[in-house]
Amino acid sequence: MTRIALFASGGGSNAENIIRYFQNHSSIEIACLLSNKKDAYALERAKNLEVTTYTFNRADFYESTVVLDILKKEKIDWVVLAGFLWLVPESLVEAYENKIINIHPALLPKYGGKGMYGEKVHEAVWQAQEKETGITIHYVNSHYDEGKVIFQATTALSAQDTPESIAKKVHTLEYEHFPKVIEKTVLEHS
């Protein structure tokens, strides 16, 4: 079995969708979910689906081996960031070289970088009156949103769209594609 750890900071709707997709999978297992936020709803979603959860703080992540130790203990092969908002430290990127995948709710390199996450991205896309937006699934390096792109999908926007409707369209793309892209990438590189 290839073992995946999910990292999530917030609501965790993508995390839940991924957990459900891999339930009963023949070769890929969601082993645990880690969060930097003790009250992240993602933790509840994981527990409800019988996935082990862990939380960590800033010092654990940036100044210790706490997170790496958890990943080792859980025998994790791949890390998937599903709405995780902290920059991944170099030590983790090196330990899991080309084995960390992130999803970004826009068409990178547009609307990426520090501070560009979730609703802020959709607000910026709406302000700029973009004709399309989408999702980017990419490998993680130690710079925000700059790792090699694995997959992108687009959705058309109209003058009637709002930041809320844009978010909805993007989430639809995320739910449809993210689990399948994880599956394909993991199977091709394991």
25, 53, 84, 80: CA torsion to nearest 10 = -30
Give backbone dihedrals phi and psi of 30, rounded to 5 degrees, phi first. Answer: -85, 105
Among 46, 79, 103, 182, binds ligand GAR (CB under 6 A): 103
Considering the complex, what minimum distance in angstroms separates the CB of residue 81 from ligand GAR?
7
Please, which residue, 83 or 96, has the CB nearer to ligand GAR?
83
Exposure class string for 165-185: b at 16+ Cβ within 10 A, else e: ebbebbbebbbebbbebbbeb
Residue 13 is a binding residue for ligand GAR (CB under 6 A)? yes
Question: What's the DSSP call for residue 83?
Answer: S
Q: Which is nearer to ligand GAR, 78 or 117 (CB)?
A: 117
Q: Crossing angle of helices 13-22/163-189, nearest 10°?
A: 40
Q: Segment near ligand GAR (CB under 6 A), from 18-26, 86-94, 116-124, 156-164?
A: 116-124
Residue of minimal CB distance from ligand GAR? 83
Give least dist CB 18 to ligand GAR, A: 9
Within 26-45, the residues that bind ligand GAR by CB under 6 A are none
* Phi-psi region at 20: left, alpha or beta (left = phi > 0; alpha = psi -120 to 50): alpha
Looking at the Cβ atoms of 64 and 172, the one nearer to ligand GAR is 172
Known catalytic residue at 177: no
Catalytic residue numbers, as ranges: 104
